[in-house]
Each structure stands twice: as C-alpha cells, then as structure tokens.
C-alpha cells in the first residue's frame, strides 16, 4: 500500500540515481571529454537559470529581463565569500542566494507598478546597472574581474543543485502559493478579488527567481574561478529567455529541455564560431514564428505522460503484430 502510494517518487529517485551514477562513472572513467564535462555543468547552470526565469515570466506572468543581474549579484557575492574572505563554499552559496534575493526585492518592489514591456526594459536596466557598478568596484577586481575563486564545483554539486532547485520550484508551483502566482498571471484583478495579495506574490516570484539565479551565479563562479562583469550582460539574459521560450512559458519540463537543447546546440556551433550566432538567431526567429508557445506550451512531461506514450507504443507494437 505504502509502496504503491510512493511508487512515482521511488521511480523518479531511482532514475535520477542511475543517471547520476552513469555520468559520474563516465567522468571518472574519462569517457566524457573535458569539453563535454564543461558543457554538462553549463547545462546544469542553464537549467537553474531557465527554470527560475520561467517562474517569473512564465508562471507569474511578469516580464523580467534582469536575470543576468541577479546571477551577477550571486556570482560576485559568492566569489567574495570564498576568494576574498576565505570562507567555505556552502557559506558562499547561502550568501550568494541571499544577496540575489535581496536584489530581487529591490527590483521587484518598485517595478510592481510597471507592466509588460516597461517592466522588461526596467529590469534590463537593472541588470546593466549591476554590471557597470561591478566594473567600478576595485574590491572585486573592476573590469578585469574577480580572480582566484576556488574551483570546487563538481558533478555532484551541480547535480544536487539542479535537482533541489527544480524540486523547490515544482513544489512551489503545485501549492496554494503557486496557484496564487498563476492567478496573478491569468487575471490580476480577479486574483485580488479572490483574496490574493498580488503585490506579495509578484515580489515573491522575483525573490525566488532571483535567489535561484544567484545560486546559478555562485556555481558559475566556482567552476570558472575567474568572473568578469562583462560576462553578465543582457546577452546572457537573452540566452536564458530563449531557453524558456523554446521550452514553453509556464512549463518546467519545457525549461529543462530548452536549456539542454540550447546548451548542446551552442556547444556544437562553437566549432563554427563565425556562423554560430547567425544560426542561433535564425533558430530563434523560426521558433518564435512557427511555434510561439514553445515546444511544450504549458504542458508538463510527467511519469504519466511516459506511461501514456508507453501505452501508445505497446498499442502500436500490438498493431504491428496483428499485421
């Protein structure tokens, strides 16, 4: 009885453990090249970024382009904690997320009065201000960036961060608080009449999204060891936005798939740097024109989906046998 109740969770845990082990063995055994290990880590960071941006843009219906700024706040705060203060990595994670969350409140509160495109431009402006300010602070290395950050990020760290981030977002969305965010997106006037404090939930979405972007920043800093303010320009936000758009606004699994696909595409296109961005741009326009709702729309892929597909496939197989 208990086994049946938790069968889904157990299946997922087993699948994750299996995936983790295979990749870990592949890395330790040298089967996965250094280039792909880097891209694997990037994939993890991108998943966290895309899922957290989706929480703001897709689920709550706000229009933020400030993700690079939140990530930068996390990266530099984390970097200061380990490189400048010599404190341990977990403290860097906590400080980075906290600082980014505070930035989320600061950006979230005044921008509440703004809608749609105005919010987009204002948050983009926030990101640019963060970048320019960081460039002018000597304590974090100015334009040449912060160096000597310990390289402590490994596959287990990335894996656990991604799984926990996704779990946190999923739990949030599938709770009464997540439903309140969805209500804000769908119709904020009606949401208020349902007793939803829309100010609180808009800011909350920014805070959670920003904190996770901060986590992605801390991971990024502790993988590359050197971070420069110019890496966190609005181009980075655009990258994340594209992942969210390709996957589907309001679909968590879509964000994961979008992040994975675009990281892989970007890795392959790295070999032809001249055309990489051009192809990327064409993909982007094509995706927007031909599938504006993203690959997944708002749908989620769950174990049930696989079971249904399984049913379809076994049905097809049965059909073939009958032929």
Partner 1 sequence: MQDLLQQLLNGLSQGSIYALIAVGYTMIYGIIQLINFAHGDVIMVGAYVALGAALMGFGFIPSLLMAMIACAILGVVIERVAYRKVRPVSRLAALTSAIGVSLFLEYIMMYFLGADIRTYPPGILVGRTYSLGGVLITNKDLLVLGTTLVLVVILQYIIFRTRTGKAMRAVSYDGQAAQLMGVNVNNTVAITFFIGSAMAAAAGILYGIYFNSVQPLMGLMPGLKAFIAAVLGGIGSIPGAMLGGILLGMTESLVAGFGGSMYRDAVAFIILILILLIKPTGLLGKGVQEKV
Partner 2 sequence: MALLDINKLTKNFGGLVALNNFDLHLEQGALVGLIGPNGAGKTTVFNLLSGFYQPSGGEIIFDGKNLKGKHPHQITKMGMARTFQNIRLFGNLSVLDNVKIAYQSVVNYGLLPAFLRIPPFSRREEQIEKAALNFLEIFDLRKYAGEKARNLPYGEQRRLEITRALATNPRLLLLDEPAAGMNPQETHELLSLVRRIRDEFKLTIILIEHDMSLVMGLCERVLVLDYGSLIAEGSPKEIQQNPRVIEAYLGDEEVAVWEE
Which of partner 2, partner 1, none interacts with 100 (beta carbon under 5 to 8 A by kind)? none
Closest CA to 47 of 299, 259, 302, 294: 259
Closest CA to 212 of 48, 3, 27, 94: 48
Shortest reach from residue 277's CB to partner 2, in Å: 34
The footprint of partner 2 on this chain (CB under 8 A) covers a number of residues equal to 25
Kindly tell me which residue out of 30, 86, 195, 273 binds partner 2, with binding defined by CB under 8 A. 195
Specify the 3-state DSSP secondary structure of 323.
coil
Specify the 3-state DSSP secondary structure of 227.
strand
Do the Cβ atoms of 245 and 297 come closer than 8 Å?
no
Which span sits near partner 2 by CB under 8 A: 49-57, 125-133, 170-178, 303-311?
170-178
Closest CA to 219 of 309, 295, 296, 156: 156
For residue 35, CA distances in Å to 24, 124, 274 come to 15, 31, 19
Specify the length of the chain in residues. Answer: 323
Kindly tell me which residue out of 171, 270, 302, 304 binds partner 2, with binding defined by CB under 8 A. 171
Sign of CA pseudo-dihedral 165, 169, 170, 175? positive
Kindly tell me which residue out of 71, 191, 215, 221 binds partner 2, with binding defined by CB under 8 A. 191
Q: How many CB atoms lie within 10 A of CB 320?
A: 8
166 is a contact residue toward partner 2 (CB under 8 A)? no
Which span sits near partner 1 by CB under 8 A: 28-36, 47-55, 241-249, 310-318?
241-249
179 is a contact residue toward partner 2 (CB under 8 A)? yes
Specify the 3-state DSSP secondary structure of 146.
strand
The residue among 46 and 82 lying less far from partner 1, judged by its C-beta, is: 46
194 is a contact residue toward partner 2 (CB under 8 A)? yes
> Which 10-39 residues touch partner 1, going by CB under 8 A?
none
- The 189-228 contact track toward partner 1, x by CB under 8 A, reads x---------------------------------------
Residue 281 exposed, middle or buried by CB count within 10 Å (0-12, 13-18, 19+) = exposed
**Separation between Cα atoms, residue 31 and residue 36, nearest integer Å:** 10
Q: How many CB atoms lie within 10 A of CB 242?
A: 20
Shortest reach from residue 220's CB to partner 1, in Å: 22
Q: How many CB atoms lie within 10 A of CB 25?
A: 11
Which of partner 2, partner 1, none interacts with 128 (beta carbon under 5 to 8 A by kind)? partner 1
102 is a contact residue toward partner 2 (CB under 8 A)? no
Do the Cβ atoms of 237 and 252 come closer than 8 Å?
no
Which of partner 2, partner 1, none interacts with 117 (beta carbon under 5 to 8 A by kind)? partner 1
Which span sits near partner 2 by CB under 8 A: 32-40, 122-130, 137-145, 168-176?
168-176
Q: Among all chains, which residue has been given the structure tokens 């400080």?
A: 95
Q: Among all chains, which residue has been given the structure tokens 């320019």?
A: 132
Interacting residues with partner 1 (CB under 8 A): 57, 63, 110-111, 113-114, 116-118, 120-122, 124-126, 128-129, 132-133, 135-136, 189, 238, 241-242, 245, 249, 274-278, 280-285, 287-289, 292-293
| Contact residues for partner 2, defined by CB under 8 A | 168, 171-172, 175-180, 182-183, 186-187, 189-198, 204, 298
């Amino acid at each position: 009885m208990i086994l049946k109740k938790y069968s889904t969770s157990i299946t997922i845990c087993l699948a994750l453990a299996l995936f983790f082990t295979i990749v870990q063995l592949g890395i330790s055994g040298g089967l996965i090249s250094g280039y792909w290990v880097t891209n694997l880590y990037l994939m993890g960071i991108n998943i966290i970024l895309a899922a957290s941006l989706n929480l703001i843009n897709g689920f709550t219906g706000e229009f933020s382009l400030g993700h690079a700024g939140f990530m930068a706040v996390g990266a530099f705060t984390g970097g200061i904690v380990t490189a400048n203060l010599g404190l341990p990595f977990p403290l860097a994670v906590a400080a980075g997320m906290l600082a980014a969350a505070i930035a989320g409140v600061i950006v979230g509160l005044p921008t509440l009065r703004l809608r749609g495109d105005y919010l987009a431009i204002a948050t983009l402006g926030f990101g640019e201000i963060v970048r320019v300010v960081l460039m002018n602070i000597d304590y974090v290395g100015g334009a040449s960036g912060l160096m000597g950050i310990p390289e402590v990020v490994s596959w287990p760290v990335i894996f656990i961060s991604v799984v926990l981030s996704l779990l946190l977002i999923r739990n949030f969305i599938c709770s009464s608080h997540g439903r309140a965010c969805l209500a804000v997106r769908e119709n904020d006037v009606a949401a208020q009449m349902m007793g939803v404090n829309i100010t609180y939930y808009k800011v909350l979405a920014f805070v959670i999204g920003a904190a996770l972007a901060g986590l992605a920043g801390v991971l990024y800093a502790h993988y590359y060891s050197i971070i420069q303010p110019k890496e966190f320009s609005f181009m980075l936000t655009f990258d994340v936005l594209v992942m969210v758009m390709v996957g589907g606004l309001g679909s968590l699994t879509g964000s994961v798939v979008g992040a994975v696909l675009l990281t892989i595409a970007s890795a392959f296109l790295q070999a032809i740097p001249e055309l990489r961005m051009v192809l990327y741009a064409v993909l982007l326009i094509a995706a927007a024109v031909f599938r504006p709702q993203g690959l997944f729309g708002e749908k989620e892929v769950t174990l049930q989906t696989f079971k249904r597909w399984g049913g379809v496939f076994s049905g097809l197989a049965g059909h073939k046998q009958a032929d």
